[in-house]
Structure 1
Amino acid sequence: MQEPAPLGPGQDAPLPDALTGHWVDTRAPRRIRPFLKLARIERPIGWQLLLLPCWWSAGLAAIATGQAFPNPWHCLLFLIGAIVMRGAGCTFNDIVDRKLDAQVARTRGRPLPSGQVTVKAAALFMVGLSLVGLAVLLQFNSFTIIAGIASLVIVAVYPFMKRITNMPQFVLGLAFSWGGLLGWSAVTGRLDAPAFLIYAASVVWTIGYDTIYAMQDIEDDVIAGIKSSARYFGDHGREAIALCFATAVLLAGLAVWNAGGGPIAFAGLAAFAGHLGWQVSKLKGVTSPVALSLFRSNWHAGLLLAVGLALDALGRFALQG
């Protein structure tokens, strides 16, 4: 195996699941690096996965309402909101889990358990990010604002779930998939069947990909007493993930059908399904690096569906014109 390249002047050693050579570790001022790491800026997959249900739902709404493409302003707001609220959520999670994180090899180098940031400073940082998220949310209609605020209940309870349930990934799915509701309500001012279906699809998809992610920590989780779906499924993890992914595809297909999607949307769904199937094929005897790589690849899987929905809206608009 090739030895990792030595760090240059001003570089920090990245956390185990961070992108190697990210600008946070190489170029950001040292004083703010711990806060950027609290927000997981060097691990963009989190906000990417939080963003995708928003874009899926916005694409479905564009198809259903005859728009040429998902509302660009909404998509930008969802992007900003996903980045800052993922950062706020991760900071809250790290405050709650700082003692558990100190017992897990992958997480003990995080800013709080390693002492780089105090709890008070982290709390103030979380409040600041939350205020930015609120400013983004206030750009939408009143129904979407209320729906967005309601999600905070799930976000608040999630960090405690790994202590009391074998399926904290389900609660994570409820939180991470909330954009599947907001993308639709931002356009229509209400919730309809396609929004609920794409939300449900995202929930089971989240359980699947986060179970892959949790496969990295099974041994440490046993020692620390942390519960996870990877531990719960055990030797049947691959089959459970396959079931989650198949259910996600089925529910997403029903959402596309209910929204009036056409061939291009279903082609995007087929590409999404193919990518998920490829992930399952790689899970037998999976190692931690492969699990992390497969987990990250869900950004590309989700983009295939998002692009299919957007192109379907554009194609239908062109034909009607």
Structure 2
Amino acid sequence: MSPAAPRSRLSLYLDLIRWDRPAGWLLLLWPTLASLWIAADGWPGWHLLAVFTLGTILMRSAGCCVNDVADRDFDKHVKRTANRPVTSGAVSVKEALLLGAGLALLAFGLVLTTNATTIMLSFAALAVALVYPYAKRVVAMPQAVLGVAFSFGIPMAFSASLGGTSFSLEALNAAVPLSAWALLVANLFWVLAYDTEYAMVDRDDDIRIGIKTSALTLGRFDVIGVMAFYLIYLAAWTWLGLRFGLGKYFIAGVVVAAAQVAWHYSLIRERSREGCFKAFRQNHWLGFAVFVGTVVDLALR
């Protein structure tokens, strides 16, 4: 049998940014867009929709580059990640960082079309995204850091919608109300839920190589913890949605999301790798249900 032909650079780069696995950027997209609709009190306009959709995809892709560079010495000991382009040596560290920087610059170019306050928030979002890959070395629940990174589109959506004409705390407080930060905190618990499911897949490998994860920190209470995180997320998001004036269609979306949580319990209760990974990969539908409920409610009231 002849050896496989070497892969093209484009193919390797697409693999590096997980182009064939859109679930990652969809998990960021739905709460960001739901917040965009809430902040705009309905249709946000094509400009902001394009900025936040494309920006989400670009920043998630850039994050993959940074994450794979940071984790390359760990990933080679995990069967699921051993063949990632940076870990296997098919893509150099320099290439990965340059690609990540280029994607982040494209995303920043989109942010520049918004306003000063949103630009200011983008630097904070970038800082959290860069810190996360290293958090698992020192933080017992690094998924909480990921939760902040994955939720930062929420205050940015409010800032871009409500305006902010200066790089000042006064402009930030005017454009991003406390309720928007509360949505970020609520969404953090959803990230804790699905990324703990993800961590449950690699539990044995993570113990062996010494990585800290929420699944290991929770121990035998991991399933209960995941369900508690889901409950806090849905309860808080519902309460905040009602405070924003959302009604029955929004509640219907939350109910659909809650039904999916019950299904996820059936997937993870035995802690099988296949079940936990499936629960993680299907989580974007939960966020989609809340987003659709939000959009329909704002459109029909």
TM-score by length of 1: 0.85
What CA distance in whole angstroms lies between the structure 2 residues aligned with 1:77 and 1:158? Answer: 24
Tell me, yes or no, if the aligned pair for 1:58 and 1:184 is still in contact at 8 Å: yes
Is 1:37–2:22 an aligned residue pair?
no
What CA distance in whole angstroms lies between the structure 2 residues aligned with 1:132 and 1:10? Answer: 34
Unaligned runs of 5+ in 2: 164-174
Determine which of 172, 195, 202 is the counterpart of 2:180: 195
Is 1:62–2:36 an aligned residue pair?
no
Determine which of 82, 90, 109 is the counterpart of 2:56: 82
Q: Which residue of the partner structure matches residue 306 of structure 1?
A: 291
Cα pair distance change 1:113/1:33, threshold 3 Å: same
Report how far residue 122 of structure 1 moved. Answer: 1.2
Is 1:47–2:25 an aligned residue pair?
yes
Cα pair distance change 1:306/1:72, threshold 3 Å: farther
**Secondary structure in 2 matching 1:290:** helix
Cα pair distance change 1:271/1:197, threshold 3 Å: farther
Tell me, yes or no, if the aligned pair for 1:193 and 1:255 is still in contact at 8 Å: no
What CA distance in whole angstroms lies between the structure 1 residues aligned with 2:188 and 2:110? Answer: 23
Matched residues, number: 288
Q: Deviations over 1:209-253 (max 9, x none)?
A: 000011110111111111101111121111001110000011101
Tell me, yes or no, if the aligned pair for 1:168 and 1:227 is still in contact at 8 Å: yes
Tell me, yes or no, if the aligned pair for 1:213 and 1:291 is still in contact at 8 Å: yes
Q: Which residue of the partner structure matches residue 20 of structure 1?
A: none
Give the letter aligned to residue 57 of structure 1: S
Question: Cα RMSD (Å) of the superposition?
Answer: 1.8
What CA distance in whole angstroms lies between the structure 1 residues aligned with 2:223 and 2:279? Answer: 13
**Secondary structure in 1 matching 2:280:** helix
Tell me, yes or no, if the aligned pair for 2:44 and 2:161 is still in contact at 8 Å: no
Tell me, yes or no, if the aligned pair for 2:40 and 2:162 is still in contact at 8 Å: no
Report how far residue 11 of structure 1 moved. Answer: 9.2
Report how far residue 62 of structure 1 moved. Answer: 3.4
Report how far residue 255 of structure 1 moved. Answer: 1.7
Determine which of 255, 258, 267 is the counterpart of 2:243: 258
Tell me, yes or no, if the aligned pair for 2:86 and 2:92 is still in contact at 8 Å: yes
Determine which of 91, 107, 118 is the counterpart of 2:81: 107
Report how far residue 31 of structure 1 moved. Answer: 2.4
Q: Deviations over 1:153-189 (max 9, x none)?
A: 2111111111112201000001001112122222112
Q: Which residue of the partner structure matches residue 73 of structure 1?
A: 47
Residues 131-146 of structure 1 aligned to structure 2 (within 5 Å): 131-146=105-120
Cα pair distance change 1:11/1:40, threshold 3 Å: farther
Tell me, yes or no, if the aligned pair for 1:144 and 1:186 is still in contact at 8 Å: yes
Tell me, yes or no, if the aligned pair for 1:167 and 1:229 is still in contact at 8 Å: yes
Q: Which residue of the partner structure matches residue 119 of structure 1?
A: 93
What CA distance in whole angstroms lies between the structure 2 residues aligned with 1:71 and 1:171? Answer: 31
Q: Deviations over 1:283-311 (max 9, x none)?
A: 21131122111111111111111011111
Tell me, yes or no, if the aligned pair for 1:194 and 1:256 is still in contact at 8 Å: no
Q: Deviations over 1:38-71 (max 9, x none)?
A: 11112211111111221120122233xxx3x343
Q: Which residue of the partner structure matches residue 270 of structure 2?
A: 285
Q: Which residue of the partner structure matches residue 237 of structure 1?
A: 222
**Secondary structure in 1 matching 2:263:** helix
Q: Judge which range, 175-184 or 305-314, deviates more.
A: 175-184
Report how far residue 313 of structure 1 moved. Answer: 0.9
Determine which of 225, 244, 269 is the counterpart of 2:254: 269
What CA distance in whole angstroms lies between the structure 1 residues aligned with 2:194 and 2:89? Answer: 30
Determine which of 157, 165, 184 is the counterpart of 2:131: 157
Cα pair distance change 1:11/1:78, threshold 3 Å: farther
TM-score by length of 2: 0.91
**Secondary structure in 1 matching 2:228:** helix
Report how far residue 32 of structure 1 moved. Answer: 1.1
Please identify which structure carries the higher helix content: 2
What CA distance in whole angstroms lies between the structure 1 residues aligned with 2:157 and 2:264? Answer: 27
